[in-house]
């Protein structure tokens, strides 16, 4: 008999027909077991103002650092590209000079024309320990961020007998 009465009381409380003690949370239970406030049609909750504020502050701190990192990576990528181009041009000039024999006339300099604006080359021929061998240096220079940068390639060449 007591169980039936108790079950009816629990059922009446669930339906909201029995007054609750003071301070007891008002509302109905959602099927998930969480308390749902009166007047809310199935809304369990969202973000609080503090959570949103913390997120905005966090993004405000992270975004400048991320943007600086992206800018640095872009700059370094550009510098690497220019350095690779300069090394490639130096190799081509070194090959051209050794194949044509123009290196024997001494130091030379020039640019790479309209195809490669901003790049300049110089050659230096110096003697080696063996009199039949000379050292040929080709240096390619260019301007980057207000500084002159350069790439040098060196090879040993045999002097042709005249």
Domain locations in the chain as residue ranges:
2-36, 49-158
* 111-140 per-position pLDDT tens digit: 888 888 889 999 998 888 877 888 899 999
State the Cα–Cα distance between residues 57 and 71, nearest whole angstrom. 22
* 82-108 per-position pLDDT tens digit: 999 999 999 999 999 888 888 877 788
Residues 143/127, Cβ–Cβ less than 8 Å: no
pTM, entire model: 0.59
* 4-45 per-position pLDDT tens digit: 555 666 676 666 665 655 555 555 555 665 655 555 555 556
* 54-71 per-position pLDDT tens digit: 999 999 999 999 999 999
Q: Considering only the top CATH level, what class is 49-158?
A: alpha beta
**Predicted pLDDT at 162:** 46
């Amino acid at each position: 008999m007591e169980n039936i009465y108790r079950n009816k009381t629990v059922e009446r409380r669930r339906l909201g027909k029995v007054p609750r003690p003071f301070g007891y949370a008002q509302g109905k239970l959602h099927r998930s077991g969480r308390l749902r406030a009166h007047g809310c049609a199935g809304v369990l909750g969202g973000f609080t103002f503090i959570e949103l504020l913390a997120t905005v502050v966090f993004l405000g701190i992270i975004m400048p650092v991320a943007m600086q990192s992206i800018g640095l990576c872009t700059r370094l990528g550009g510098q690497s590209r220019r350095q690779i181009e300069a090394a490639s041009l130096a190799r081509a000039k070194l090959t051209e000079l050794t194949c044509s024999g123009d290196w024997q006339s001494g130091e030379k300099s020039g640019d790479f024309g309209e195809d490669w604006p901003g790049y300049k080359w110089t050659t230096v021929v110096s003697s080696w320990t063996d009199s039949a061998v000379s050292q040929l240096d080709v240096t390619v220079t260019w301007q980057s961020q207000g500084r002159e940068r350069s790439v040098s390639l060196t090879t040993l060449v045999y002097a042709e007998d005249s």
